[in-house]
Structure 1
Amino acid sequence: MLEIKNLLEKFIFASIVLSGFDGIAVFKIFLFPYGYFWMTSIGLLIYFFYFRYRNIYVTNVFKGYCLFFLWVIFSTIINLPNIIGLTFKGFMAEKIMILELMALVFLLLMIIYYTEILLNKTNIISWVYKAIRISFYITLVFAFVQFLAMLDIDIANKIYIETQKIFNTQYANRFLNNYEEYITGISGSTKEPSAFGNYISVIFPWLILGTMYLKNNKIGKWLVILAIICVIYSYSRTAYFTISLEILIILFICRKNIFNIKFLLIGILIISAGLYFIITNDEVLEKVINVFSSFGENAETNRMSSNITRISLQVAAFNMFLANPVLGVGLGQFGFHYPNFLPDWAFLSPEILTAINPNNATMYGSYNTHIRVLAESGIIGFILWVNIIIKGFKNYIYVLKFVENDKKNLIKLIILSYGMSLTGFINFDIYIFFYYWLLVILSSVLVMRIKKGEKIL
């Protein structure tokens, strides 16, 4: 059994390594295209084959998720008469409901699997960091090719297009015909710069953590600098906002280390690298300014349209909640109802005209999982969803009480990463954003290990 557990541990490690991929087309046999999904799925099959008769570790996160899961099922069953037979843009409401239900079942099984395996893992924080670091190495390879493609280097363009056929199911066809339009910035192994912003915002505190607290990590500070450079050339609003906020928070968390020569040198290198790459290139400087002004009256037309689309769809979700405050409209049903709840000003965006066109095959989401939960599962579902998030924060605060003073900042950086993982739910409206679930599971595992009298660092 020890060999099986070691194998299952490796599948979790591989899931973290592949977490940056969100559209692997070569593995279409799996339900979702996310890189971590198929590695975790294989691990789940092995886990439940060998350990199906074992008792489940009932953590507070597991309890919270079960309550949310049961309410979603209940509210959806009540809404079934309105779901069955409903279609929009060629999509069937009951089919989308089943797919979303499968995603929630997958997360439930993932919580069970990850909890048991991680409970028996020693040096768990450094282990997670190593997996994240390998993941970032892969991201850097993609980022380098994308950067060369942005410079119109022919061989880089060809490599970029070929990799999109394999690693990006969402945008692959668009890239083949008009790749210049979609190489808008570095996206690493994710589907677009915005998704890259979510990914980098979660791993950035871990890169800092590895640099400051883990031994034999000479390359760590260079990874931090490269992360900043990738963010600059992503031209992503999400990446710019989250990383800027993180840097300010990290400076506050580590304020006692500011006069430490190592920390000071790292900070100077990061700031210098960022300023150099912005100031010395007029085109980069202009794009950076456009990102920071994207919510102002001088924003570029496409960014203004994007802002209107995102905000109006979230307003539609809130209006949907007001019309169905207790039960919501049912799991996966936002896309079938949003045209009836859009505000009048939403139609200023050409994207919204596409969103409501029944002849266009693109089904739009709410761009915010939290408000989607409110619309689809009502106020009770939303409270139960927020309850899971709060449990994660409470777990990490509990852990803080039991670590040495010189290691408290390490846990604070993980809390920052956990907080930033919520941006994955704000930018998109998917339930299965990997890093959030990894970190909320990790929080409960650390608490259980402390209560068992085991070391966590």
Structure 2
Amino acid sequence: MLAKIYNTLFFLGLFFFPFNSYEGISFLGEFKTESGALFLFAGFLFLLINISLTKKIIFPYKNFLFQLVMLFIIWCLITTILNASSVGSNYFKSTSGINRFIRQYFALLISAFVFFIFYINVLAKMELKEVLFKIRKVFLCSLIVASIYGFFEILISVFGYVFLYPILKGFNYFPFLEVNLHPEGRISTISYEPPFLAIYLITISGWMFSYILTSKKLTRFLPTFAILVLTYFSGSRTGLIVVFFQGFVFLIFLYKDLRFKKYVINFLVGSLFVFSVLLVFKGEKVIHSVSEKMNSLNFQKNLTKNVSNQSRFGMQYAALQVFLENPITGVGFGQQAYHNRIHYPSWATRNNYEFELYYKNKKEKAFPPGYNLYTRLLAETGLIGISLFLMLLYFSLNEVRLLMKKAKGEEKTILMIVLISLLGLYINWLQIDTFRIYGVWLCLAILIRMRYNKTLILKNE
């Protein structure tokens, strides 16, 4: 009975993880607006109750990926202890260094330990076929809601059909969802803002692409189409780059499969034909739209014109300067912001309202983001910490390669999904600095599950 409850909560957590546009629960910190996290927390509690009654827990301490995750978590604590004197003296935005460490370490533990253990225990008792079809179906259901919402949002924000807004407002009755149109003609659908919508789309893209492999219905192309349309209209530069890169990786898989090779060729030829027709009949609009997107992807050109790019690269530059001053052990986990502020480059802060209103403003409680997890780890955990983390990334991708050699059927499809998801999310970490990325830990849990042919082996660990 308890197993059924926490399994249901697991799937509800996956369904609701992109729904973060509501006010939230303040004491949950980083997770305050994460509706999916509420179900995952509840599921973990039911798992603990089940463990206390059955005296059984699946804790794969012999698995190398699991060991790397635990070593990284431990090092984040050790490096903070080694920097205890500076951590104790850090103070900014009414927050002490110790307080900041506790909050950030708590967020890390929740994502990389609590939820990770929960995923592992749920997945270990599922057949691989269930892992593929059940998780994919849950993500499809959330995508359907996001697509319907996004359809009306595109018509209103992009094409100006404002009379449809009352219909869109009806989504306020949906759990954990508050309708709010994003400015500048961008869409965020069920998420709070376009960048998080991009994270959601990157997370589920591989799962949605896989319908093309496993289904024979014409509708198998619709999930992929929805992913591409929502990504395009989100206006997220990173989302656009990453999702299309994931699509390219998927096309390589299809091309190598003799069953789909001709479809890939037909798709490319068809796309070229459609694009040519559009150029003939709507050439000016097409060229304008494409050039607009290409210009948005030109980070070097926009560095002096785009405030967002100035802030992003300025923060990353400052983090690298902090690393150069503390190359081995870093400055302590969660301490980046205290040290970054003395290294902000003038080219980033000049005529940049974000630094004045948010990042340097002591009255603004929100801490400045690092905009890049890798530069954050360089600054906070030094060479040792970043090495452990990069090892985790490398060996997770290598694990996919090793398992792929003997994989067949559903197993091979799952591995393709995991590879596409991990590649996308690892690239996406180049522009965000949070561990609160559900897809990564879910994929790592799936890899641990797939390392074992029988779930009984897991129980012995």
| Partner in structure 1 of residue 388 of structure 2 | 384
Q: How does 1:176-191 map to 2 (within 5 A)?
A: 182-191=183-192
Does residue 333 (structure 1) correspond to residue 338 (structure 2)? The answer is: no
Gaps of 5+ in 2: none
| Partner in structure 1 of residue 125 of structure 2 | 120
Does residue 367 (structure 1) correspond to residue 367 (structure 2)? The answer is: no
| Partner in structure 2 of residue 7 of structure 1 | 5
| Partner in structure 2 of residue 224 of structure 1 | 224
In the alignment, residue 220 of structure 1 is paired with which amino acid?
Answer: R
Question: What displacement does 1:241 show?
Answer: 0.9
Question: What displacement does 1:324 show?
Answer: 1.3
Does residue 343 (structure 1) correspond to residue 345 (structure 2)? The answer is: yes
**2: CA distance, partners of 1:193 / 1:284:** 23
**2: CA distance, partners of 1:148 / 1:249:** 31
Does residue 404 (structure 1) correspond to residue 408 (structure 2)? The answer is: yes
| Partner in structure 2 of residue 149 of structure 1 | 156
In the alignment, residue 127 of structure 1 is paired with which amino acid?
Answer: K
Does residue 69 (structure 1) correspond to residue 73 (structure 2)? The answer is: yes
Aligned to 2:160, the other structure's residue is in SS state coil
**2: CA distance, partners of 1:440 / 1:370:** 19
Q: Does the Cα contact within 8 Å between 2:255 and 2:264 map onto a contact in 1?
A: no
**2: CA distance, partners of 1:338 / 1:155:** 47
State the Cα RMSD in Å: 3.4
**1: CA distance, partners of 2:78 / 2:172:** 40
**2: CA distance, partners of 1:240 / 1:275:** 22
Q: How does 1:196-275 map to 2 (within 5 A)?
A: 196-212=197-213, 214-215=214-215, 218-257=218-257
| Partner in structure 2 of residue 310 of structure 1 | 312
**2: CA distance, partners of 1:225 / 1:249:** 16
In the alignment, residue 120 of structure 2 is paired with which amino acid?
Answer: T
Residues 261/452 of structure 1: CA separation in 2 closer, same or farther (3 Å cut) = farther
- 323-332 or 408-417, larger mean C-alpha shift: 408-417
Residues 407/305 of structure 1: CA separation in 2 closer, same or farther (3 Å cut) = same
**2: CA distance, partners of 1:255 / 1:410:** 18
Q: Does the Cα contact within 8 Å between 1:290 and 1:300 map onto a contact in 2?
A: no
- Provide, for residues 293-328 of structure 1, a one-character-per-residue CA deviation record: whole Å limited to 9, x for no partner: 135489568962222211111111111111111221
In the alignment, residue 327 of structure 2 is paired with which amino acid?
Answer: P
Residues 244/102 of structure 1: CA separation in 2 closer, same or farther (3 Å cut) = same
Question: What displacement does 1:81 show?
Answer: 2.5
Residues 91/313 of structure 1: CA separation in 2 closer, same or farther (3 Å cut) = same
Q: Does the Cα contact within 8 Å between 1:23 and 1:168 map onto a contact in 2?
A: yes
Aligned to 2:146, the other structure's residue is in SS state helix
Residues 225/136 of structure 1: CA separation in 2 closer, same or farther (3 Å cut) = same
**1: CA distance, partners of 2:216 / 2:5:** 26
Question: What displacement does 1:266 show?
Answer: 6.1
In the alignment, residue 34 of structure 2 is paired with which amino acid?
Answer: Y
Q: Does the Cα contact within 8 Å between 1:392 and 1:444 map onto a contact in 2?
A: no
Question: What displacement does 1:338 show?
Answer: 1.2
In the alignment, residue 114 of structure 2 is paired with which amino acid?
Answer: L
Aligned to 2:327, the other structure's residue is in SS state coil
Residues 105/153 of structure 1: CA separation in 2 closer, same or farther (3 Å cut) = same
* Correspondent of 2:436 among 432, 439, 445: 432
* Correspondent of 2:105 among 78, 101, 104: 101
Question: What displacement does 1:418 show?
Answer: 1.4
Residues 168/352 of structure 1: CA separation in 2 closer, same or farther (3 Å cut) = farther
- Provide, for residues 352-406 of structure 1, a one-character-per-residue CA deviation record: whole Å limited to 9, x for no partner: 3442233444421111112211111111111111122223212212221221389
Question: What displacement does 1:216 show?
Answer: 6.1
In the alignment, residue 109 of structure 2 is paired with which amino acid?
Answer: V
Q: Does the Cα contact within 8 Å between 1:83 and 1:94 map onto a contact in 2?
A: yes
In the alignment, residue 418 of structure 2 is paired with which amino acid?
Answer: I
Question: What displacement does 1:448 show?
Answer: 2.0
**2: CA distance, partners of 1:131 / 1:270:** 30
| Partner in structure 1 of residue 116 of structure 2 | 111
**2: CA distance, partners of 1:276 / 1:194:** 32
Q: Report the TM-score when normalising by structure 1.
A: 0.85
Aligned to 1:51, the other structure's residue is in SS state helix
In the alignment, residue 125 of structure 2 is paired with which amino acid?
Answer: N
- 96-105 or 301-310, larger mean C-alpha shift: 301-310
Q: Does the Cα contact within 8 Å between 2:304 and 2:310 map onto a contact in 1?
A: no
**2: CA distance, partners of 1:404 / 1:298:** 44
Residues 118/410 of structure 1: CA separation in 2 closer, same or farther (3 Å cut) = closer
**1: CA distance, partners of 2:293 / 2:201:** 17
* Correspondent of 1:57 among 46, 55, 60: 60
Q: Does the Cα contact within 8 Å between 2:35 and 2:176 map onto a contact in 1?
A: no
| Partner in structure 1 of residue 18 of structure 2 | 20
**1: CA distance, partners of 2:380 / 2:170:** 38
Residues 285/363 of structure 1: CA separation in 2 closer, same or farther (3 Å cut) = farther
In the alignment, residue 312 of structure 1 is paired with which amino acid?
Answer: G
- Provide, for residues 41-97 of structure 1, a one-character-per-residue CA deviation record: whole Å limited to 9, x for no partner: 001111112214424232322211111111111111222322235332333332221
**Percent identity between the two aligned chains:** 18
Q: Report the TM-score when normalising by structure 2.
A: 0.84
**2: CA distance, partners of 1:204 / 1:290:** 24
Residues 405/42 of structure 1: CA separation in 2 closer, same or farther (3 Å cut) = closer
In the alignment, residue 193 of structure 2 is paired with which amino acid?
Answer: E
- 152-161 or 380-389, larger mean C-alpha shift: 152-161
Question: What displacement does 1:159 show?
Answer: 6.3
Residues 387/298 of structure 1: CA separation in 2 closer, same or farther (3 Å cut) = closer
Alignment coverage as a number of residue pairs: 443
**1: CA distance, partners of 2:276 / 2:15:** 30
* Correspondent of 2:453 among 436, 449, 452: 449
- Provide, for residues 242-299 of structure 1, a one-character-per-residue CA deviation record: whole Å limited to 9, x for no partner: 1232232222222144865655666677777888899859678645422311354895
In the alignment, residue 17 of structure 1 is paired with which amino acid?
Answer: F
Question: What displacement does 1:453 show?
Answer: 9.0
Question: What displacement does 1:119 show?
Answer: 1.0
